[in-house]
Amino acid sequence: MSTTDTKINTSVGQADFFSIAEQKRYARHFALPGFGQEGQARLKAGSALVVGAGGLGCPALLYLAAAGVGRIGIADGDRVEESNLQRQVLFTIGDLGKPKAEAAKCRIEALNPHIRVEAFDRMLNSENALDLIRSYDVIVDGSDNFPTRYLVNDACLILGKPLVYGAVSAFEGQVAVFNWLMENGGRSPNYRDLFPEPPEPGAVQNCEEGGVLGVLPGIIGSMQANEALKILSGYEAPMHSKLFILDAASLRTMTLKFRKHYFEPVKTLIDYEGFCGVPLPDSQRIVQVEPETFKSLKHPEEAYFLIDVREPDEHNRQNLGGINIPLGMIREQARQIPTDRPVMLYCQSGRRSQQAILQLQEMGFGNLLNLSGGMDGQL
């Protein structure tokens, strides 16, 4: 049974449950009406898994660690990139190239030595999600893509875990709590009740494509930490069955209520990339050009017809040459692409260019190559 469903026995006295250093550190929580020593004891006995140590995960991790959540897990398979530093406040220049999970672990251990931190340098998938999520009391979703959101939601449904959701794009942020165990014994609505079907591929821009105000993930991630702390400490019920929306540009907020639908119960995890219509790159279909090979070319535009599939403002700031056709326009402007010579597509990391190649291959193009690592691989 999780600490969210039981009371922590503190009858032996707080001096026996908290060290002197912990009593000093958490004094403001001890003095907080409705929270006090028992709420802090629940935090110490509780655990949280943060999926994604990015813009949302970084502030969530900072505040969960500072508050004294006893065991914190970090699941992220990415490495720290310079473009992350605009909003991912756990990392510094010295962390570039390091695994995000390990770098985040070092930072929050330095912040609070009284907690246990576990780093998982891997992305969640249908093979490992249940095992990773199983032993944590609350899950905080800081992911930035639809396959992971549906995966984490479904794993929480199967395991009966409360899920704290957050999302950001441009100037808008969202927060909600899914699958909360209510007083009547039922579970609150989940992500599928709010979004039964994923959007069409490319219909919603991610932060790499559409940008995001740097401070916005800090606000939303902190709100996610607040909801997780409410769940773990029991001092207040979390904001379930509602979606909180913030427009950071105008500081207007809106709260939408939504109900539970009666879908078929989720019993197993599925292929979420396929479910969301995002085909996994197939090495047999996509020819990759390694960063070192491209760097060795004195005149790459003579060897390849180059296409940058990033947004125009990204292309204008810095590029590797060639023409600019954004991913969302690739089908519409395919007539600009020659068929009688090798065509290399690139983007910032190599992901968007792979999606563009898959679209063009469906149109009959057979002369396409992808620059592995994209712009990042050349810097």
Residues annotated as catalytic are 207, 347
Distance CA 92, CA 78 (A): 15
Q: Kindly report the number of other CB atoms within 10 A of residue 170's CB atom.
A: 15
Burial of 121: CB neighbours in 10 Å, binned 0-12, 13-18, 19+: middle
Distance CA 121, CA 342 (A): 36
Burial of 51: CB neighbours in 10 Å, binned 0-12, 13-18, 19+: buried
Residues 138 and 48 sit within 8 Å (Cβ to Cβ)? yes
Residues 230 and 238 sit within 8 Å (Cβ to Cβ)? yes
Residues 375 and 318 sit within 8 Å (Cβ to Cβ)? yes
Q: β-pairing, 287-289 with 368-371? A: parallel
DSSP letter for each residue of 272-311? HHHHTT-PPP-TTTSEEE-HHHHHT-S-HHHH-EEEE-S-
